[in-house]
Amino acid sequence: MTIQMAVSQNATEAKIYQNYPIGMQMLQGGYLLQTTNSTIDGAITIPNRDIDINAHIGYVRYANFFNLAGKTAGVQVMLPYVNIDADILGYNANKSGMGDIMVVLGTNIIGGDALSFPQFLQTKKQLALAWSLAVTMPTGSYSDSQLLNPGGNRWQFKPEIALTVPVDNWDFEAYLNAKFFTRNNALPNLLPSGTPSKLEQKAFYGLTLHAVYNFNQKFWISADAAGRVGGETKKDGIAQEDSQSVAGVGGTFNYSPSLFHQFGINYITAAGGNDYAPNGSLFTVKYTYVFGGGMKKTMQALKNQNQNNQ
């Protein structure tokens, strides 16, 4: 089951398709700094060297894991708040507001059996195949008279299938995905006196790769790579011939001082692409509180058992 990052153009994170015990819940808060020449989701690029957009994104996210037909499944909701600072052709602008809410549902197909927390502790990692569907809803702040918008004013659907292969201390992961868009009937015009356009966009098709090394149960790092193609747009029915081809590389650091607390840092930057690909980078720092699933009760029972055996 997945916990995906939304409101940004980054690829799906490492280790989010690992198995979790049923009943477990997560509450996460994070901050993203995105430097780019595109919209917040990276779908629409302004191909000009004189475009500099910095997006500061704070978010909260909740996830819950449960049993679905004997496999671990989960659902999560993410709510972002976005502040955008931009320098567009010498014109400085700022815009703040709520971003688009994202909901993700997913489950394991192969491996990833639904386990209680005590069973989970006794089970070794195994090869797993999972799927997810992320739905981004047009709930964010948006105006057809503003060039900068925290929201996208259209629905987005991202199905993904993920393969995880554990080898000793390593986890090798490959995710295949696509992203589909509904029409935006009120795209702002670059000209101050222009009228809004109707925007249509073809799907993106992407691949994400992670090589994760687990030092121990508390600390792991990952080398990350991702790429995608597609996304050609039409404005008022006219093809823009702006299909994207982009690749990015980065890394992830994650530390868990205890079972209930996790800290993570991720950085990814554009490594290559065509003239219509988004540039820049994305830096993320996050904290996750893990609870539920009988974890506290189980850990206390194990602690008491160890004391009695001494």
pLDDT digits (tens, 9 = 90+) for 177-225: 999 999 999 988 766 556 888 999 999 999 999 999 999 999 999 999 9
Provide the pLDDT for residue 8: 44
pLDDT digits (tens, 9 = 90+) for 47-77: 666 678 899 999 999 999 999 999 999 999 9
Q: What residues contact 214, with CB distance under 8 A and at least 6 apart?
A: 169, 170, 171, 220
Tell how far CA 145 is from the center of its chain: 29
* Average model confidence (pLDDT) across the chain: 90
Provide the pLDDT for residue 3: 32
Cα(76)–Cα(70) distance, rounded to whole angstroms?
A: 19
Total residue count of the chain as it appears in this document? 310
Supply the pTM of this predicted model.
0.91
Query: Confidence class of residue 1 from pLDDT cuts 50, 70 and 90?
Result: very low
Number of neighbouring beta carbons within 10 Å of residue 236: 11
* DSSP code, position 202: P
Lowest mean per-residue pLDDT among 24-38, 97-111, 289-303:
289-303
Cα(269)–Cα(278) distance, rounded to whole angstroms?
A: 10
Domains, the chain: 24-182+202-232+240-309 (2.40.128.130)
Contact 21, 151 (CB under 8 A): no
Query: Confidence class of residue 7 from pLDDT cuts 50, 70 and 90?
Result: very low
- Which of 186, 188, 10 is CA-nearest to residue 95? 188
- Which of 266, 260, 269 is CA-nearest to residue 286? 266
Asked whether residue 104 carries a pLDDT value surpassing 70, the answer given is yes
Tell how far CA 239 is from the center of its chain: 29
Q: What residues contact 23, with CB distance under 8 A and at least 6 apart?
A: 65, 66, 116, 117, 292, 293, 294
